[in-house]
Amino acid sequence: MVFPGPPTLLKLVSHVLVRDEGLNISALEDLPSPLFLTLFKEANTQRKAKMIKILVEYWPYPCLHVGLLINKPNFQTFQAILDGVDTWLKRKYRTRMCRLQVVHLNEYHASSAMQDGREGRDYLGETMLNKQVDLSRKTKQNQQTKKKQVEAGQSRCTTKRLRLFHDLSFMSSLHEDRHQTQLLQWVKGRKDFLHLCCEKLGIGAIEWPKVRDVLQLLQPDSIKELELNTVGNLSKLAKFVPHISKMRTLQKLMLRRIFGTRTYTQEEKRNVTKIISLFPKLSSLQHLTIDDVYFLTDNMKELFSCLKTPLETLSIADCPGLIQSDFEYLPHCLNIRKLKHLNLNGLFLSDIGYELLGLILEKVTSTLQILELEECEMTDSHFEPLLPVLSQCSQLLKVNFYHNDISLPVLKNLLCHTAKLSQLTEELYPAPLECYEGSKILKHRFKQLCPELLEILRAQKQPKKVSISTRNCWVCFHSCQYYYNLEATDWLFQCICK
């Protein structure tokens, strides 16, 4: 057993200073910058909101990343941070404390970055100082101005607006985040003094006026990830187009569960045209997810031909009505040639064609890392043409073929091909048809076959993670699953039918 050592002198001093609130403004002026980090965390531990407010107000670094110091601040602490920023904004003159330019309120996971042997306090200080170092080097004129102000003994705060970062999610009107509501109300009265920036924005089934108000508060060029999930029909989605077109740094767009019909009215056709007109404006787009929407039918070529940058992720899942003609352009699309992740879960490959998927994979054999083809109604006739090109995808890290219909001989052949892929770390396969008797799962047969199937892989390599699963039982709605990793093998027989 390892016992914790005695607290350091720094921790003891910080504990006393925070407990007795023994800091005043003059003391803060002479306080070493790294000590602010220790005091901030100690003030949070002791729930000293007043101390947190003062530390924010006199923060000595260009960037205050709250997530590096506090994991999920409570409501009182969150309000204290906003109060400190508010006081900072209202101050007209400062001495050395006029460095703050960016405040990050998002969570930050720095554990892996702190495993290089440095003290956590040193790492935090360097991060705070370096995270926005480019902001202080923008122009030579600003540097000269700041130098003159320091020489005069009094530094007047720049008129440049403070940037405040916080990820936002509005998936439901019924469950609103208290911190988020508090932040938005606070920002509304301070729009002239700061920019509200949001790198990840999620919007769901909430009223359009509220969505519009939020979008008007945000800096659109700060948004890197946008998810629109169950936002309504095509008409409502079209209302987002003017706002999304301003998101010049948008890298990831997810459109999920957009209601519609397979036969468009004239108005819906106009809305589809408006939606597709958005994509040429997204010059930074790298990850595109389109899940359970209707507007792709007859519009795939138009959409993909107007993309400006190569995609790294393409997910087209559970989109009904797509047929072979919709996918015929993809093998010729230059913007999929660098795909790392392809997800076609829930698409009916019988409607798309037997050989088309292989033609698409031929274009990405040197880059593809993740291939997901779960519940695609694949049969032997789909798997067999796929095998030669699949074995050429040398960079694959994960494959998912769950919930497809495959016979035992073809599954064994599939395993012989994937066994050649040395980079694979996760493999998900469907149980062969021989494990079923009609709708009934033959558990004894499943248990007999899985070790045999695993041995096909082990004959050529040391697999990392392998999973074989049956479909859900039609009676009890459970499946049987077999898991293997380097440490253990596990069976899960959920099906309770005899």
The residue written with tokens 């048809």 in the block is 433
> Tokens for 206?
């909430």
**For the ranges 102-116, 215-229, 393-407, which has the lowest average pLDDT?**
102-116
CA 248 to centroid of chain Cα atoms: 18
Q: What is the pLDDT of residues 165-212, one digit of tens each?
A: 999 999 876 667 888 989 999 999 888 889 999 999 999 988 888 889
Confidence (pLDDT) at 121 = 43
Single pTM value for the model: 0.85
Confidence (pLDDT) at 200 = 95
Task: Give yes or no for a contact between 439 and 475, defined as CB atoms under 8 angstroms apart.
Answer: yes
Residue 106: pLDDT band by 50, 70, 90 thresholds? confident
Task: Give yes or no for a contact between 374 and 400, defined as CB atoms under 8 angstroms apart.
Answer: yes
Residues 6+ apart with CB under 8 A from 152: none
Of 130, 76, 122, 128, the residue nearest 104 (C-alpha): 128
Confidence (pLDDT) at 113 = 35
Q: Is the pLDDT of residue 277 over 70?
A: yes
Residue 96: pLDDT band by 50, 70, 90 thresholds? low
Confidence (pLDDT) at 404 = 95
CATH code of domain 159-306: 3.80.10
Q: What is the pLDDT of residues 444-459, one digit of tens each?
A: 999 999 999 999 999 9
> Tokens for 327?
């996918």
pLDDT top residue among 479 and 158:
479
Q: Rounded distance, CA 226 to CA 282, Å?
A: 12
> Largest Cα–Cα distance in the chain?
88
Encoded amino acid at 348, one letter: F
Q: Rounded distance, CA 133 to CA 110, Å?
A: 19
Which whole number is the average pLDDT over 456-466?
A: 93
- List helix spans (H) across 373-479: 380-390, 408-418, 443-458
Q: Is the pLDDT of residue 37 over 50?
A: yes
CA 396 to centroid of chain Cα atoms: 21
Q: Is the pLDDT of residue 114 over 50?
A: no
The mean pLDDT value of the chain amounts to 83
Element at 213 (helix H, strand E): helix 208-217
- Provide the total of helices (H) and of strands (E) in the chain, helices listed first: 19, 21
> Tokens for 412?
């064994």
CA distances from 85 to 59, 102, 194 (A): 10, 10, 10
- CB neighbourhood size of 54 (10 A): 22
Q: Where are the domains of the chain?
A: 8-112, 159-306
Q: Is the pLDDT of residue 434 over 90?
A: yes
Locate the DSSP E strands across 144-215. Answer: 155-156, 162-165, 168-172, 194-197, 200-205
Task: Give yes or no for a contact between 278 and 241, defined as CB atoms under 8 angstroms apart.
Answer: yes
Which whole number is the average pLDDT over 347-353?
A: 85
Q: Rounded distance, CA 196 to CA 420, Å?
A: 50
pLDDT top residue among 136 and 317:
317
Q: Is the pLDDT of residue 479 over 60?
A: yes
Confidence (pLDDT) at 378 = 93
Confidence (pLDDT) at 67 = 86
**For the ranges 6-20, 106-120, 233-247, which has the lowest average pLDDT?**
106-120
Give me the sign of the Cα torsion angle 342, 344, 350, 353: negative
Task: Give yes or no for a contact between 226 and 122, defined as CB atoms under 8 angstroms apart.
Answer: no
Which whole number is the average pLDDT over 314-334?
A: 90
Q: What is the pLDDT of residues 267-276, one digit of tens each?
A: 888 999 999 9
Q: Is the pLDDT of residue 297 over 50?
A: yes
Which whole number is the average pLDDT over 23-29?
A: 65
Residue 147: pLDDT band by 50, 70, 90 thresholds? low
pLDDT top residue among 178 and 389:
389
Confidence (pLDDT) at 19 = 64
Q: Is the pLDDT of residue 233 over 50?
A: yes
**For the ranges 4-13, 59-68, 241-250, which has the lowest average pLDDT?**
4-13
**For the ranges 62-66, 260-264, 455-459, which has the lowest average pLDDT?**
260-264
Q: Is the pLDDT of residue 1 over 50?
A: no
